[in-house]
């Protein structure tokens, strides 16, 4: 059995107390009369409003075929997955340091042999955005320590609660691929699963946005299919052939077949029509522009942007203006604050609390600096002001640029004209001048971009 197969089997050994929990029957999954079974059906991938008759069905697997949905999920997953992930340790109440412990390489290094950090985390963030929850399988070594992380597709998992134990506690358990005989438990309970729900109403299941907004997405899918049918049926609108002659059924079928043969499909668009025996072509449907077909599609893209919390301009919907201002920096900041940070915070807390060897002072953070710090010139102008007025010291500025400290970088500068009257002017600090510090930061930025200082 290969490593990937072993990882996804999710049946690795667990401590005895967790094994007992696994052997408990799944209340609500085995018994459809239990409330949990109803909740599972309503709140997982198949939940949400009923399908509108006659419109295309959508779910987590098919909805990304819609360009706006695909773009929304991909920009959330790929943007977060590309951010640097760091492990930190608190030194005291005010100071922290970045660490890289070999036993935690699955976090700051490679999560598993088949995926890079960007691929692994972008997959999980995409699951959380599109399906409403993400699941991580933690592969242990012989000492029960985590060594690898694997994503589990949300469609494979159903959530329920075990029967009460002796203390009356009911553990959250997971059924993988319909297996209710050996339910899995949380990693924190000695199991192998980390569950990260999106917005939840019951504390157990994450709300699936595609399922809950199914009707909106059905309309979008229907508008795309409508447009495809317009082109597949040729340049002429739907209609009928009319003649004053009395035709037999066979003649009617022959006339229809002959018309469709020569005028249906893109390859027959704009062909000259020849009608005989007094036949006339009478259209029955209004033109797409008269039906506001394009306006409907624009509106549906805005609806998708609203569902996933993505600014319309990031879906390349350029009509109108954003509510965060006209600058790209303001738009990006709004997306980070109101959407991306929501996902990263949930992941940071779940992983830090359950996986790290010393969760009391070890934790992970995704670094948003590259998204929020603006252009190089603007940053360095802000640093110049902060350094000149003693708000930041050189080492604090270097830390903001992901650079290590330097000797003498803890000193704060203070302008001579800002000394209080009668106060003794402090001794001129030893070390590099402000110009030298600024020059060093500029050179470091150029080197990071692969340019010669």
- Report pLDDT digits (tens) over 327-364: 666 777 789 999 999 999 999 999 999 888 666 778 99
pLDDT tens-digit map of 121-158: 999 999 999 999 999 999 998 888 899 999 999 999 99
The Cβ of residue 36 has, within 10 Å, a number of other Cβ atoms equal to 21
pTM of the model: 0.69
**Tokens linked to 212:** 């809950």
**Mean pLDDT of all residues in 317-323:** 63
Task: Report pLDDT for 196.
Answer: 97
> How far apart are the C-alpha atoms of 163 and 165, rounded to whole Å?
6
Query: Please, how many CA atoms are within 13 Å of residue 356, restricted to the half-sphere of its CB?
Result: 24
**Mean pLDDT of all residues in 376-392:** 85
Helix, strand, coil shares of the chain, percent, nearest 5, are: 45, 15, 40
Task: Report pLDDT for 338.
Answer: 92
**Tokens linked to 184:** 């899995």
DSSP letters spanning 210-257: HHHTHHHHHHHHHHHHHHHHHHHT-SSPSEEEE-SS---HHHHHHHHH
> Hey, CA dihedral for 426, 428, 432, 436, is it positive or negative?
positive
Which span out of 158-167, 241-250, 434-443 was modeled with the highest average pLDDT? 158-167
Higher per-residue confidence, 12 vs 116: 116
> How far apart are the C-alpha atoms of 287 and 62, rounded to whole Å?
29
Share of the chain above pLDDT 70, in %: 68
221 pLDDT above the threshold of 70 = yes
Phi-psi domain of 265 (left: phi exceeds 0; alpha: psi -120 through 50; beta: other): left
**Tokens linked to 183:** 């339910």
Task: Report pLDDT for 256.
Answer: 78
Task: Report pLDDT for 31.
Answer: 35
* Range of weakest confidence among 182-191, 235-244, 359-368, 423-432: 423-432
**Mean pLDDT of all residues in 409-430:** 64
Those residues with Cβ within 8 angstroms of residue 132's Cβ, 6 or more apart along the chain or in another chain:
154, 197, 198, 199, 205, 206, 207, 208, 209, 211
Task: Report pLDDT for 27.
Answer: 35
Mean pLDDT, rounded, of the chain: 76
> How far apart are the C-alpha atoms of 157 and 193, rounded to whole Å?
11
Higher per-residue confidence, 34 vs 435: 435
* Range of weakest confidence among 88-92, 347-351, 390-394: 88-92
Task: Report pLDDT for 270.
Answer: 58
Query: Please, how many CA atoms are within 13 Å of residue 267, restricted to the half-sphere of its CB?
Result: 3
Which span out of 272-286, 292-306, 342-356 was modeled with the highest average pLDDT? 342-356
Strands 85-90 and 362-366: antiparallel
43 pLDDT above the threshold of 70 = no
Backbone phi, psi, residue 8, to 5°: -85, -10
**Environment class of residue 285 by beta-carbon count within 10 Å: exposed (0-12), middle (13-18) or buried (19+)?**
exposed
pLDDT tens-digit map of 5-34: 333 333 333 333 333 333 333 333 333 333
How far apart are the two ends of the chain, measured CA to CA in Å?
53
What CA dihedral angle connects 141, 146, 147 and 149, to 10 degrees?
130
**Tokens linked to 13:** 């050994």
Task: Report pLDDT for 379.
Answer: 80
**Mean pLDDT of all residues in 146-174:** 90
């Amino acid at each position: 059995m290969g490593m990937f197969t072993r990882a996804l089997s999710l049946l690795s050994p667990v401590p005895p107390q967790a094994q007992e929990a696994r052997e408990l029957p799944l209340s609500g999954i085995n018994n459809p009369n239990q409330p949990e079974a109803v909740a599972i059906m309503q709140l997982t991938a198949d939940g949400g409003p009923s399908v509108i008759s006659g419109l295309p069905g959508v779910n987590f697997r098919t909805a990304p075929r819609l360009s706006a949905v695909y773009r929304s999920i991909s920009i959330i997953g790929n943007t977060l997955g590309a951010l640097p992930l760091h492990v930190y340790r608190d030194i005291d109440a005010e100071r922290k340091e970045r660490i890289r412990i070999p036993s935690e390489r699955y976090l700051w290094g490679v999560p598993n042999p088949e995926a890079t950090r960007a691929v692994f985390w972008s997959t999980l963030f995409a699951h959380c955005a599109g399906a409403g929850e993400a699941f991580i399988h933690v592969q242990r070594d012989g000492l029960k320590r985590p060594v690898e992380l694997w994503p589990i597709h949300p469609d494979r998992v159903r959530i329920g609660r075990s029967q009460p134990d002796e203390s009356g506690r009911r553990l959250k358990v997971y059924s993988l691929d319909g297996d209710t005989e050996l339910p899995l438990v949380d990693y924190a309970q000695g199991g192998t699963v980390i569950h990260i729900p999106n917005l939840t109403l019951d504390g157990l299941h994450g709300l699936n946005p595609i399922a809950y907004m199914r009707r909106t997405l059905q309309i979008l899918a229907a508008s795309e299919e409508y447009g495809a049918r317009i082109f597949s049926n040729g340049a002429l609108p739907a209609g009928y052939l009319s003649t004053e002659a009395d035709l037999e059924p066979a003649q009617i079928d022959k006339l229809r077949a002959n018309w469709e043969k020569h005028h249906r499909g893109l390859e027959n668009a704009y062909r000259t029509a020849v009608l005989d025996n007094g036949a006339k072509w009478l259209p029955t449907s209004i033109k797409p522009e008269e039906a506001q077909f394009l306006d409907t599609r624009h509106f549906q893209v805005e609806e998708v942007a609203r569902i996933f919390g993505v600014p319309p301009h990031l879906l390349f919907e350029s009509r109108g203006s954003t509510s965060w201002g006209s600058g790209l920096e303001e738009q990006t900041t709004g997306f980070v604050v109101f959407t991306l940070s929501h996902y990263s915070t949930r992941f940071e807390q779940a992983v830090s609390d359950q996986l790290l060897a010393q969760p009391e002072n070890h934790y992970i953070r995704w670094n948003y600096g590259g998204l929020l710090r603006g252009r190089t010139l603007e940053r360095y102008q802000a640093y110049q002001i902060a350094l000149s007025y003693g708000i930041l010291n050189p080492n604090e500025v270097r830390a903001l640029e992901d650079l290590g400290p330097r000797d003498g970088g803890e000193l704060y500068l203070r302008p001579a004209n800002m000394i209080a009257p009668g106060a003794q002017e402090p001794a001129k600090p030893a070390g590099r001048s402000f110009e030298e510090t600024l020059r060093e930061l500029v050179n470091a930025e150029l080197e990071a971009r692969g340019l010669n200082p």
